[in-house]
Structure 1
């Protein structure tokens, strides 16, 4: 199965649990998290865009920032819809790989493995590690996602990405079978960033 993939970095969060610091700007080692993720995605994607939500995100030079539409659905799902609409307009027939900006150890083989799973006619493959799913980190067929989300009435919050994946019959790609450490670990508190920092010297996956 050979298709182009557009990488969508979800970076629209306001970082409230981190004292108002946007996750994209947090540094791990000598790199901002957004740079860690973009470097991980470059070998797997033909283009990379950044979902900036309603705020301002500093993308890596050459990247496109895609804001949420005014008056539409809210939250991370709004970023997915904005990204999928961008893919339809600018890279038709491409798949979309969405990745949270705080996922610095994104696995190098995710796109290839997920594409094999999509070949069975599925519309989404979601990342997982053991019993936990990571809904923001997934490979999508944009058109079914657009059709599902466009039919949902705007609301102050939601819908949840997890609900969209359930509606699309998402399959799980579980890395606990091949990786000792969770490659989808993110940052919700400073302690999480410290935990990721301790992994730097051992990161080779």
Structure 2
């Protein structure tokens, strides 16, 4: 089974002063480059979900803008990615990863695929008691079918509600990793905390 990686990079970075998260640097490397590098060994293709407006600052990557007058927020990015997968890599699974997740684990796709069975159409990343809904493995077909039944609205639907509707399983890394591989960047303090992890073992 092939897997297409979709990097969710459409956030406005409001708590970071309006700086696009994809451009933030960790160890003199842009966050989007960290995530792209982590996904290359797990995915047959990688595309960028860039939110309402496509940006072209990622050489060699397809950038997908949200559909106009459709659902809003991160779920719009999921729909754009899933539609691309259906059109260009039919029968592939879709791995969505937030652009601010630089320490993405190299075995997530393999471990999650083993859990994607029966009536479960999504596997969400978790660390201890906390889930990270944007970071998940999906069956694109059921995801598209569900999202296309939802009327457009200024906000939502939430990714958690979508996962609950599709049937979701958790993949908890607290049992195998000493540090949270799904930790993201919402504030300058978060970026500083992640910078302290550079060079440290993740397991």
Task: Judge conservation of contact 1:126–1:137 (CA < 8 Å) in 2.
Answer: yes
Q: Does 1:43 align with 2:44?
A: no
* 1:16-42, Cα deviation, whole Å (9 max, x unpaired): 110010000000002100000000000
Q: Does 1:57 align with 2:55?
A: yes
Distance across 2 between alignment mates of 1:47 and 1:30: 25
Distance across 2 between alignment mates of 1:122 and 1:160: 18
Offset of residue 58 of structure 1: 4.5
Which residue pairs with 2:7 in the alignment?
9
Which residue pairs with 2:127 in the alignment?
129
Unaligned runs of 5+ in 2: none
* 1:56-92, Cα deviation, whole Å (9 max, x unpaired): 4355321100100000000000000000000000110
Which residue pairs with 2:163 in the alignment?
165
In the TM superposition, what are the counterparts of 1:1-205 in structure 2 within 5 Å? 3-204=1-202
Distance across 2 between alignment mates of 1:63 and 1:15: 21
Distance across 2 between alignment mates of 1:198 and 1:55: 33
Offset of residue 122 of structure 1: 2.0
Distance across 2 between alignment mates of 1:204 and 1:105: 8
Distance across 2 between alignment mates of 1:122 and 1:135: 15
* 1:161-204, Cα deviation, whole Å (9 max, x unpaired): 00000001100000001001000000000000000000002045
Relative to its length, the structure with more helix (as a share) is 1
Q: TM-score, normalized by length of structure 2?
A: 0.97
Distance across 2 between alignment mates of 1:39 and 1:119: 28
Unaligned runs of 5+ in 1: none
Distance across 1 between alignment mates of 2:99 and 2:162: 20
Task: Judge conservation of contact 1:34–1:59 (CA < 8 Å) in 2.
Answer: no
Distance across 1 between alignment mates of 2:95 and 2:54: 21
Q: TM-score, normalized by length of structure 1?
A: 0.96
Distance across 2 between alignment mates of 1:113 and 1:60: 28
Task: Find the residue that maps to 1:78 and give its secondary structure.
Answer: helix
Distance across 1 between alignment mates of 2:75 and 2:200: 33
Task: Judge conservation of contact 2:119–2:167 (CA < 8 Å) in 1.
Answer: no
Provide closer, same or farther for how the CA distance between residues 56 and 82 of structure 1 changes in structure 2, counting only shifts above 3 A: closer
Task: Judge conservation of contact 2:181–2:202 (CA < 8 Å) in 1.
Answer: no
